Amino acid sequence: MASWRSLPQDKQEEVLEFVEFLHFKNSENKPPLGERLRQIRSRIVASGKPLLNEEEIEKEIASRKGGRQGRKE
């Protein structure tokens, strides 16, 4: 476990999130999606990272789709 403690704080948080993901993935009593999303949002806010606005979310989605932009209506 000492190697985990030698990581920078942001990497330690990534490890913790991954462990929580694995625990959740193997759990039979999963909370509803809305509750899980609220928990994720709370962790992001607590970390001090800014939340994305609508435009930033659109750009993130487009980048993950290989640069394709969705239509605005």
| pLDDT tens by residue, 29-43 | 777 889 888 998 999
Mean pLDDT within 38-57: 92
Instruction: Please check whether residue 69 lies inside any domain of the structure.
Output: no
Mean pLDDT within 19-27: 81
Give the pLDDT score at 58: 92
Instruction: Please check whether residue 22 lies inside any domain of the structure.
Output: yes
Instruction: Please check whether residue 54 lies inside any domain of the structure.
Output: yes
Distance (Å, whole) CA 26 – CA 20 = 10
Instruction: Please check whether residue 49 lies inside any domain of the structure.
Output: yes
3-state secondary structure of 29: coil
pLDDT at 72 over 60: no
CA-CA-CA-CA torsion sign (25, 63, 40, 9):
positive
